[in-house]
Chain A
Amino acid sequence: MSSPVSSHSAGPQGFWRKYVFSLDHKVIGRQYLDLSLVALTTGMILSWLMRMHLGWPTKAIPGLGAIAPEAAGGIITPEYYLSLMTMHGTIMVFFVLTTAPFAGFGNFILPIQIGAEDMAFPRFNMMSFWVTFVAFVILVAAFFVPEGPPLSGWTAYAPLSAVGKDAGPGQGWGQTLWVISIGTFCIAQLLGSLNFIATTLDLRTKGMSLARMPFSTWAWFITSVIGLIAFSVLLPACVLLLLDRVAGTSFFIPAGLVISDRLQPHAGGSPLLWQHLFWFFGHPEVYIAILPGFGIVSHILPAVTRKPLLGPRVFIACMIAIAFLSYTVWGHHMFMSGMNPFSATVFSVPTLIITIPAAITTLLWIGTLYGAKLRFNTAALFCLAFISVFVSGGISGFFLAQPAIDSYLHGTYFVVGHFHFVMGVAAMFGILAGTYFWFPKMFGRMMNERLGKIHFFLTFIGVYCIFMPMHYLGLGGNVRRYSAFTVDYMKGSVPLHRFITVAALFTGAAQLIFFYNLIRSRFRGQIATDNPWEATSLEWTTSSPPPHDNFGGHHPVVYHGPNEYGVAGRNGDYIMQNSPEPDPATPTAAARTPATA
């Protein structure tokens, strides 16, 4: 059942309008995903360089000296190590973890899931991609300016990030480019979030009430609300930082600051002000990275377990609670900043409270899995892996949420292990699950399952080998951000660092299987049907790939929620959202009782 669309067009045919400056949300979504794949590769290579140096600090890295003048002879200096760390963190957080799951998949899938032809503002949409692209180019340009990229970390703490050249190599042009790049990125994300919110509110098709929206759409919607608020605070912070750097103001630079034997010509600024503004953005950013993963997992799990998601409304309420609480906890990144211990306690409490909705969602996923006859495809495996690393990384969060324990662990590898699990790898597994699940819809061909499973097992075992030992290193007092551990009491940690390095190289190499699978399946994969996973949401009612206006001249009409699995439907054990058949009275026996036989 469907109703006609007023303006049906076949879409532009010229190369530039069709593939480059396209207004089609599907093309823009793919552009975001391509950009984040480039960013991911860049960020991963940077992490390899860091890992190789940490394992074998005195050995030259072949070829590095030729391309990076800062690492003469292929030996990474402590300063260059910090540059690599800064660029790795910035690229991964902004251009992979924000870009891929939210802007990428969200752009491609969200309008189709709500039965719209496109986003609410296609021109803004195109602009937000190209502004993101420009931001990435500006950031990467920092590699090529004199003295190289900045070294103040992805958090760009002032005054180190604010005073310019005196603070070290890369703190001149490199840091200025960093600030401009992130400011530009904020503008792109604000445009994107605005578009997502207006689209979800105004362009839902007939029958698509809020309660009938798929979980992934809910997640992108909530993420865009978080992003709207978070990036509107980071942008002013970047403006203030840029003014401190280029216009001689003193927002963040205190008086009497002497760096490199030079008295800095600034007075009275507050370095803590930067931390407050940054983390007011920075903590919600964690949820911008992970909530789309929540949505993707909750979207895929019912399709692979053939059971409805347990507690769908509770799940959505939990996401809203997380979004709200994410704005009350930023101070837990600043326990070590010299803040009042009373403030630390105040921030510690909501930090512990936010684990409750997170734990509830985890229990809902496990409850959904309980007794299910799982279809073990690659997307399902990555969903399971998402839950696994989210729990592993989340548990270490309990320790860090307490100021007394955090003051010991904050500067150590324990934190590195924690956030890589819970934010990095978990979000990454969400992205990978989404890729294996939606690839048939995006390109009309299936990905290779055998290669997918090999990729999965190597990656899953690999990330545990990389990040689990970091927790032990941290407990043992191994500080982070140091470029080598050869000369002092930390010498004993070097064998474990070598193990992590080898694991990182292997896990990275395993991604070549994924790249090969992506490219091969794009052209040689088995042709996909419209609904290969027997899923219920609207993207599976249209052709693979969907036509330019998504539903071929019609708007679908929605009769059901997205969670109708394990029921006696017309086509099997599920009911498509646009199927006019009546709601099933009761779930079938198979869905209600666990298959214990």
Chain B
Amino acid sequence: MTSMSMKPQVSPAQTGVWVGIAAITMSFAAYSSALIVRQGANPDWQHFTLPRILFFNTLVVVASSATLYAARPRSAATVDRSGTVTAVDAPHRNWLYVTILLGFLFLFGQILAWRNLVDQGITLASGPSSSFFYLLTAMHGLHLLGGLTGLFYVVYRVRRSTTERAVRAYGAASLYWHFMTVLWIYLFALLATRI
């Protein structure tokens, strides 16, 4: 049995990430609705131009999803009679390193965006729009740091444990990472249209 995208065995880790995605979606829905309500509550909302580097950061995070996909275990998986899936190919370490690097590059770019705004005198407390800008980018960054931890864990699994466990860790971590990319695209669209 061969397939290009090896589906890892359904594991609690995978379920856990899906449930985590539900929770994170809910909390960003709360932030978003707070933004919309706050913007409508009073006329003190000041629009400002988003730092240009955010476009570059968006490209970086999309690229990181692509490189993480490139790291997927390529070759066949075997399924024995009890239904246990054994992968014969581990996630590719070099692509994982590239992904991690792009992840840090994205965070660095976000910090540059903050610096850019601070230089213009736009700070966390200077107005409601900037409050939400810093808040949403910071929250996304924190969650992305969690994703980076997950990727480091996959690297550790690739180096130290069985292929099967590495593939399972890859499945859960990459699901979370792709969600971080989608979440950023959503946030970028929200910020671009509202701020």
On A, residues with C-beta under 8 Å from B are 120-121, 190, 193-195, 197-199, 201-203, 228-229, 231-233, 235-237, 239-240, 243, 247-251, 254-255, 267-270, 273, 276-277, 280
Q: How far is the CA of A320 from the CA of B27 in the complex (A)?
A: 22
- Contact (Cβ within 8 A) A269 B12: no
In the A-B complex, the 5 residue pairs with the smallest Cβ-Cβ separation, listed nearest first, are A248-B125, A120-B12, A268-B42, A268-B44, A232-B26
Given contacts A198-B15, A273-B41, contact A250 B128 (CB under 8 A): yes
Q: Mark B13-54, 1 if CB is under 8 A from A, else 0.
A: 001100110111011011100100110011011000000000
Partner of A268, one of B15, B125, B128, B139: B128
* Residues in B neighbouring A268, C-beta threshold 8 A: 38, 41-42, 44-45, 128
- Contact (Cβ within 8 A) B124 A248: yes
- Contact (Cβ within 8 A) A194 B19: yes
Return the chain B residue nearest A237 by Cβ: B30
Given contacts A232-B30, A251-B34, A251-B131, contact A121 B41 (CB under 8 A): no
Return the chain A residue nearest B20 by Cβ: A194
Partner of A249, one of B12, B41, B42, B125: B125
Return the chain A residue nearest B15 by Cβ: A198
- Contact (Cβ within 8 A) A228 B22: yes
Interface membership of B10, Cβ < 8 A: yes
Q: How many A-B residue pairs have CB under 8 A?
A: 98
Interface membership of B5, Cβ < 8 A: no
- Contact (Cβ within 8 A) A198 B19: yes
- Contact (Cβ within 8 A) A277 B15: no
Partner of A190, one of B12, B23, B34: B23
Q: How far is the CA of A228 from the CA of B23 in the complex (A)?
A: 6
Q: How far is the CA of A156 from the CA of B51 in the complex (A)?
A: 36
- Contact (Cβ within 8 A) A251 B44: no
* Residues in B neighbouring A239, C-beta threshold 8 A: 135, 139
Interface membership of B11, Cβ < 8 A: yes
How distant is A482 from chain B, measured CB to nearest CB, in Å?
A: 31
Partner of B15, one of A120, A236, A249, A276: A120
Q: How far is the CA of A237 from the CA of B38 in the complex (A)?
A: 13
Q: How far is the CA of A182 from the CA of B14 in the complex (A)?
A: 28
Q: How far is the CA of A193 from the CA of B22 in the complex (A)?
A: 12
Additional pairs, 10, CB under 8 Å, beyond known A239-B135, A247-B125, A268-B38: A190-B23, A194-B19, A201-B15, A229-B22, A233-B30, A267-B44, A268-B44, A273-B38, A277-B30, A280-B30
Given contacts A190-B23, A198-B12, contact A249 B44 (CB under 8 A): no
Q: How far is the CA of A229 from the CA of B20 in the complex (A)?
A: 10
- Contact (Cβ within 8 A) A202 B10: yes
How distant is B44 from chain A, measured CB to nearest CB, in Å?
A: 4
* Residues in B neighbouring A254, C-beta threshold 8 A: 42
- Contact (Cβ within 8 A) A198 B42: no
- Contact (Cβ within 8 A) A194 B41: no
* Residues in B neighbouring A267, C-beta threshold 8 A: 42, 44
Given contacts A202-B10, A233-B30, A277-B30, contact A255 B44 (CB under 8 A): yes
- Contact (Cβ within 8 A) B128 A236: no
Partner of B131, one of A197, A202, A249: A249
Q: How far is the CA of A243 from the CA of B138 in the complex (A)?
A: 13
What are 19 A-B pairs at a CB distance below 8 A?
A121-B16, A190-B23, A194-B23, A202-B10, A228-B22, A228-B23, A229-B22, A232-B23, A235-B27, A240-B34, A248-B124, A249-B124, A251-B38, A251-B131, A255-B42, A255-B44, A270-B37, A270-B38, A277-B30
On B, residues with C-beta under 8 Å from A are 10-12, 15-16, 19-20, 22-24, 26-27, 29-31, 34, 37-38, 41-42, 44-45, 124-125, 128, 131, 135, 139
How distant is A534 from chain B, measured CB to nearest CB, in Å?
A: 33
- Contact (Cβ within 8 A) A233 B124: no
Q: How far is the CA of A201 from the CA of B131 in the complex (A)?
A: 39
- Contact (Cβ within 8 A) A203 B27: no
* Residues in A neighbouring B12, C-beta threshold 8 A: 120-121, 198-199, 202-203
* Residues in A neighbouring B45, C-beta threshold 8 A: 268
Q: How far is the CA of A512 from the CA of B27 in the complex (A)?
A: 42
How distant is A240 from chain B, measured CB to nearest CB, in Å?
A: 6
Given contacts A249-B125, A251-B131, contact A236 B11 (CB under 8 A): no
* Residues in A neighbouring B19, C-beta threshold 8 A: 193-194, 197-198, 228
Return the chain A residue nearest B12 by Cβ: A120
* Residues in B neighbouring A255, C-beta threshold 8 A: 42, 44
Instruction: With a 10 A CB-CB cut-off, give which of A120, A121, A194, A236 has the most chain B CB atoms.
Output: A236
- Contact (Cβ within 8 A) B23 A236: no
* Residues in B neighbouring A203, C-beta threshold 8 A: 12
Q: How far is the CA of A268 from the CA of B30 in the complex (A)?
A: 19
* Residues in B neighbouring A250, C-beta threshold 8 A: 125, 128, 131
* Residues in A neighbouring B124, C-beta threshold 8 A: 243, 247-249
Q: How far is the CA of A249 from the CA of B30 in the complex (A)?
A: 17
- Contact (Cβ within 8 A) B128 A276: no
* Residues in A neighbouring B30, C-beta threshold 8 A: 232-233, 236-237, 277, 280
Q: How far is the CA of A276 from the CA of B38 in the complex (A)?
A: 12
Q: How far is the CA of A240 from the CA of B23 in the complex (A)?
A: 18
Q: How far is the CA of A194 from the CA of B21 in the complex (A)?
A: 10
Q: How far is the CA of A237 from the CA of B26 in the complex (A)?
A: 12
* Residues in B neighbouring A270, C-beta threshold 8 A: 37-38, 41-42
Q: How far is the CA of A542 from the CA of B60 in the complex (A)?
A: 54
* Residues in A neighbouring B38, C-beta threshold 8 A: 251, 268-270, 273
How distant is A577 from chain B, measured CB to nearest CB, in Å?
A: 22
Return the chain B residue nearest A233 by Cβ: B30
- Contact (Cβ within 8 A) B26 A233: yes
Q: How far is the CA of A190 from the CA of B19 in the complex (A)?
A: 10
How distant is B47 from chain A, measured CB to nearest CB, in Å?
A: 15
- Contact (Cβ within 8 A) A243 B128: no
- Contact (Cβ within 8 A) B16 A120: yes
- Contact (Cβ within 8 A) B22 A243: no
Partner of B37, one of A190, A193, A273: A273
Return the chain A residue nearest B29 by Cβ: A233
Q: How far is the CA of A236 from the CA of B128 in the complex (A)?
A: 16
Return the chain B residue nearest A230 by Cβ: B26
Q: How far is the CA of A269 from the CA of B125 in the complex (A)?
A: 12
How distant is A208 from chain B, measured CB to nearest CB, in Å?
A: 15
- Contact (Cβ within 8 A) A236 B37: no
Q: How far is the CA of A277 from the CA of B34 in the complex (A)?
A: 8
How distant is B169 from chain A, measured CB to nearest CB, in Å?
A: 13
Instruction: With a 10 A CB-CB cut-off, give which of B11, B12, B42, B135 has the most chain A CB atoms.
Output: B12
Given contacts A243-B131, A255-B44, contact A236 B125 (CB under 8 A): no
* Residues in A neighbouring B42, C-beta threshold 8 A: 254-255, 267-270
Q: How far is the CA of A231 from the CA of B29 in the complex (A)?
A: 13
* Residues in A neighbouring B20, C-beta threshold 8 A: 194
* Residues in B neighbouring A120, C-beta threshold 8 A: 12, 15-16
Return the chain A residue nearest B25 by Cβ: A232
Instruction: With a 10 A CB-CB cut-off, give which of A121, A190, A203 has the most chain B CB atoms.
Output: A190
Q: How far is the CA of A34 from the CA of B37 in the complex (A)?
A: 41
Q: How far is the CA of A267 from the CA of B41 in the complex (A)?
A: 11
Return the chain A residue nearest B31 by Cβ: A236
